[in-house]
C-alpha cells in the first residue's frame, strides 16, 4: 500500500499578514503568501503595497516570469520594447524572464498580487 504525502492547507487572514519593507525599493512593502523558502512551493506569491512616490528601480528576473495583478490603485509599469503600460484596478501583466521592467509613477496607493514562476524566493 502506497502512502502519499499531502501538503497541509495554508490559510492566511489580512490581520495575520507579515508586511515587511522591501530591502531595495523605497515606498514598497511586501507580505509573502507562498514561497519556496518557507513553504517548499514551486511558485512565489506575495502582496505588494506601493505608496505614492515609491522608487522601484528598473530590473530583470533571469530565472522566472514576473506576474502582476493590480487589486487596487494606480501606477505604471515600463517594459523593455513596449514602453509604459498603465496599471489600474484589474490590470494583469506577465513579464517574461529576462525582460527589463520597472513599476513607477505610483499615483495612488497600489495593492498588487505579485507572482514569480518558478519560485525563486
Helix (H, G, I), strand (E, B), or coil: what is residue 99?
Answer: coil
pLDDT of residue 2: 52
Query: Where do the domains of the chain lie, and which CATH numbers do they carry?
Result: 30-117 (2.60.120.10)
Between 39 and 2, name the one with better pLDDT.
39
pTM score of the predicted model: 0.90
Residues 6+ apart with CB under 8 A from 113: 45, 46, 47, 68, 69, 70, 71
The pLDDT tens digits for 14-37 are 999 999 999 999 999 999 999 999
Residue ranges of E strands in the chain: 20-21, 26-34, 44-55, 65-79, 83-88, 92-95, 101-117
pLDDT greater than 70 at residue 1? no
pLDDT of residue 121: 79
Helix (H, G, I), strand (E, B), or coil: what is residue 74?
Answer: strand
Mean pLDDT of the chain: 93
pLDDT of residue 82: 98
Amino acid at each position: 500500500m502506497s502512502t502519499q504525502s499531502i501538503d497541509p492547507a495554508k490559510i492566511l487572514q489580512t490581520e495575520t499578514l507579515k508586511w515587511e519593507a522591501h530591502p531595495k525599493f523605497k515606498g514598497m512593502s511586501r507580505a509573502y503568501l507562498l514561497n519556496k523558502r518557507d513553504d517548499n512551493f514551486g511558485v512565489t506569491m506575495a502582496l505588494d503595497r506601493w505608496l505614492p512616490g515609491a522608487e522601484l528601480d528598473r530590473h530583470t528576473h533571469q530565472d522566472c516570469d514576473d506576474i502582476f495583478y493590480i487589486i487596487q490603485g494606480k501606477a505604471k509599469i515600463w517594459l523593455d520594447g513596449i514602453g509604459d503600460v498603465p496599471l489600474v484596478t484589474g490590470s494583469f501583466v506577465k513579464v517574461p524572464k529576462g525582460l527589463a521592467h520597472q513599476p513607477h509613477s505610483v499615483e495612488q496607493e497600489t495593492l498588487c498580487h505579485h507572482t514569480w514562476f518558478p519560485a525563486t524566493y
